[in-house]
Amino acid sequence: MRKEIQKILLSESEVRDRITTLATTINKRYEGQELVVVMLLKGAIIFTADICRHLEMPLQIECLNVASYHGGTESSGQVEFLDRKLPDLAGKNVLLVDDILDTGLTLSAVSREVQALGVNSLKTCVLLAKNKTRTEEVNADYVGFEIENEFVVGYGLDYQGLYRNLPYIGILNVENL
Ligand code: 5GP
Ligand code: MG
């Protein structure tokens, strides 16, 4: 383990196993239907890549570029859409995928925006959800793991752009950076 990581919260195999069962649930929900997975860059890249390989319906993958944290460990409280053009999602069954549900600001702002594109159905999926009272009344339909209110990195999640490539979810050792 790297010295910058204080503790491994979820190991590579725990994450892998959970993703497989989550995919089974999603496969059942969308049986016989087409699905568009819309991932939020960049945090959801690795989670999306892994879960999509277990999805069996006709699948399209799109991405949205939004920013809320701007590299620090505290939410800026604002969601910024960085795309010039949003994907055409009219009439589609959309599954919005993000890495983590924290304040809920990102998922609720993006959900509103996606809903406004005239989708047929919209559900949300996150790898992690922090166990806390959220600023925004939002719940994800599919959640990989509920975690305590700590700042985590790895498996797509960054601290100042780093650590996304770690194969596990860990807690940063802030004193040892
Ligand atoms: P929310 O809008 O729900 O507060 O935050 C969602 C976004 O904030 C996530 O997509 C993620 O980019 C970032 N975020 C929230 N909590 C954490 C965390 O513990 N670690 C990291 N690396 N990013 C987080
Ligand atoms: Mg993010």
Looking at ligand 1, which atom is closest to the CA of residue 157? Answer: 22
Q: Among 3.40.50.2020, 3.90.10.10, 3.40.50.720, 3.30.9.10, name the CATH number for the domain at 13-149.
A: 3.40.50.2020
Side-chain half-sphere CA neighbours of 122 within 13 A: 19
For the chain, give the mean pLDDT.
Answer: 91
CA 168, chain centre distance (Å) = 15
Looking at ligand 1, which atom is closest to the CA of residue 44? Answer: 10
State the pLDDT at residue 75: 59
Nearest listed ligand to the Cα of residue 73: 1
State the pLDDT at residue 145: 98
Give tens-digit pLDDT for 71-81: 556 655 567 88
DSSP of 73-87: SS--S--EE--SS--
- Asked whether the predicted pLDDT for residue 65 surpasses 80, the reply is yes
Nearest CA-CA partner of 69 in 79, 60, 59: 79
Query: CB within 6 Å of ligand 1 — which residues?
Result: 40, 43, 68-69, 75, 98-107, 151-153, 157-159
Give tens-digit pLDDT for 111-132: 998 999 999 999 999 999 999 8
Domain definitions of the chain by residue range: 13-149
d(CA 113, CA 55): 25
State the pLDDT at residue 138: 80
Residue 43 CA to ligand 2 center (angstroms) comes to: 4
DSSP of 62-115: EEEEEESSTTSSS--S--EE--SS----TT-EEEEEEEEESSSHHHHHHHHHHH
The best mutation among 41, 157, 165 to test binding of ligand 1, ranked by most ligand atoms within 8 Å of the C-beta, falls on 157
Side-chain half-sphere CA neighbours of 54 within 13 A: 17
